[in-house]
Amino acid sequence: MKKFLNLFDFSQKVNYRTEILSGLTVAFALVPEAIAFALIPGFSPLTGLYAAFVVALITSILGGRPGMISGATGAVAVIFVGLILELKDNFPGITPETILHYVFATVIIAGLLQITAGVLKLGKFIRLVPHPVMFGFVNGLAIIIFMAQFPNFYEKGTTDLLSGAAFWTMLGLTVLTMVIIWGFPKITKAIPSSLLAIIVVSAIVLGFGIDTRTVADTIAVGESIKGGFPPLSIPNIPLNLETFKIIFPYAAIVAGVGLIESLLTLNIIDEITDTRGSGNKECIAQGTANIFSGFLSGMGGCAMIGQSLINTSAGARARLSGITAAIMLLVFIMFGSSLIERLPMAALVGLMFMVAIGTFEWASFKTFKKMPTSDVVVMVLVTLITAVTHNLAIAVLFGVIISALAYSWENAKRIRARKSIDENGVKIYEIYGPLFFGSTAAFAEKFDIINDPSDIIIDFKESRVADMSGIEALNRITERYAKVGKKVHLKHLSKDCKRLLANADAIIEVNVLEDPTYKVLAGK
């Protein structure tokens, strides 16, 4: 049996009890979120639950980060709202069943795009996300998780707070859940405190017949989470260019959002567990999971930071926990729906409140006086954009762009030139700092064209030409010197810089002197 279980894990040692109990806890936490996310675009609860099962199972087996949990997510569900509106505009009278077929096709194409990204090894580009953006992403996500629990304190179908005994019962049970999760690990870690909290609070509610909100209250009237194994669903849509034009943009967004959220979650779990996952392998796993999800009546998904933190905080580090969570979720759907629907929402809300508190990077407040102002601004902006728009991909992309611009501005100010004249009367400009689009203006100001001798050497030993803007700046300088009958020589250019010069078809021919061989490190 152990040999069979080890097929699903590549670590040296697996604590089976911890993995199984943690997976069970995660399965409980997956249910209400999968239902809630399915309702965002108006799908049935089973569409979200099937997606959660398929995505969780396949990414747990094939993924690049053991212990990370994937499933149906709000970030992906929101994208389908736009797709549905466009389908209704293009095809008046389209039925909900036909809409689902378009959704399944979109998820399948998104999966193919994600696999392509993994095969092309694009997962490594997540390393370009700066740390302040990571802080902002995590903090914004913690706020989203926290705020998403408040509708459970409202009267069903309204934005009015529960009143009287109903409110205090919900609040009391939520606080009790949080206290158990916080305090029980101080006594023993034999059982995940999150699982114990769900069991204790559920036992109190069911045992004493307490009237409070349950999972059943999150489901629309007439619907249920009871179902069988996910049915095969081959998308029945027209295979033509018009269909492709409609669904491909949304598939690309689903693929991009899913990979960004998954790879950022992978990085966070890497830091928590002090290990390193494979981003490219995770891209392929996410894509495979979404393809299967589309063919098995699911709405697709990606990594879930909340459930991943529940899993890792319980001590799970292997693939078995995610596999257990997926299988238990299917068991709930097929055999335990009536019991799951009776679970008190207070237990799950308290669990997610603790996840939000644990997710938030409280240490980020200490960095305000230590980090550069630009990094603080980026962190705060990403947090606010994430919390307000709930669009994690846009928030991260915005943060990366702002960080890149701030970095470029700082480097643009660092370019300088040391000037000297050798024994032959040749003036040498030793350039320090990169020559790129942001530093070209400062670079041009370094030269005294009128008063310089007839031969000029620009030495790039401590610099490099980084882009076409840098090449154009060299062209302009050599052209200005040529107009007054003077000649420019370039010295210590690396091979990649010379290649840029050759490809640029420089306006003025320049002489290249004493080019050394530079070795450029490339990551795998």
pLDDT in tens, 485-500: 998 888 887 777 777 6
| pLDDT attached to residue 65 | 92
- Rounded to whole angstroms, the Cα distance separating 443 from 497 reads 16
What integer pLDDT is reported at residue 504 of this predicted model? 57
What local confidence, expressed as pLDDT, does residue 75 receive? Answer: 79
Specify the DSSP class assigned to residue 297: T
> Residue 16 above 50 pLDDT?
yes
pLDDT for 136 equals 87
Mean pLDDT of the chain: 86
- Between the alpha carbon of residue 74 and those of residues 266, 275, 453, 523, the distances in Å are 18, 28, 66, 33
- Statement: residue 523 has pLDDT above 50: no
Summarize pLDDT for 207-224 with one digit per residue, the tens: 999 999 998 888 877 788
Question: What value does the mean pLDDT take over residues 296-317?
Answer: 92
Query: pLDDT band for position 414 (50/70/90)?
Result: confident
| Residue 521: predicted pLDDT | 33
pLDDT band at 3 (very low <50, low <70, confident <90, very high): very low
302 alpha-carbon distance from chain centroid? 9
Residue of 134, 140, 146 whose CA lies nearest to 367? 134
pLDDT in tens, 315-362: 899 999 999 999 999 999 999 998 888 989 999 889 888 888 887 888
Dump pLDDT digits (tens) for 240-269.
Answer: 999 999 999 999 989 988 998 899 899 889
Residue 8 has pLDDT above 50, yes or no: no
Q: Is the pLDDT of residue 2 over 60?
A: no
**Predicted local distance difference test score (pLDDT) of residue 262:** 93
Report the pLDDT value the prediction gives residue 407, as an integer from 0 to 100. 82
- Taking the C-alpha atoms of residue 38 and residue 300, their distance in angstroms, rounded to an integer, is 10
More confidently predicted of 500 and 235: 235
* pLDDT grade for 505, boundaries at 50, 70 and 90: low
Task: Determine which of 325-329, 429-433, 471-475 has the lowest per-residue pLDDT on average.
Answer: 471-475
User: 300 CB contacts (<8 Å, ≥6 apart)?
Assistant: 51, 55, 72, 76, 106, 107, 110, 111, 254, 258, 290, 293, 294
pLDDT of 11 strictly over 50: no
Spell out where 45-199 has E strands: 70-71
Q: What is the pLDDT of residue 375?
A: 87
Structurally, at CATH architecture level, domain 415-513 sits in 2-Layer Sandwich (3.30)
Q: What integer pLDDT is reported at residue 7 of this predicted model? A: 43
Sheet holding 487-491, edge to edge: 416-421, 427-432, 455-462, 487-491, 511-513
Nearest C-alpha neighbor of 97 from the set 221, 218, 231: 231
Q: Tens of pLDDT along 175-194?
A: 999 999 999 988 887 788 88
Q: Quickly tell me which residue has 């999968």 as its tokens.
A: 34
The per-residue pLDDT for 319 is 94
CATH 3.30.750.24 in the chain: give the residue spans: 415-513
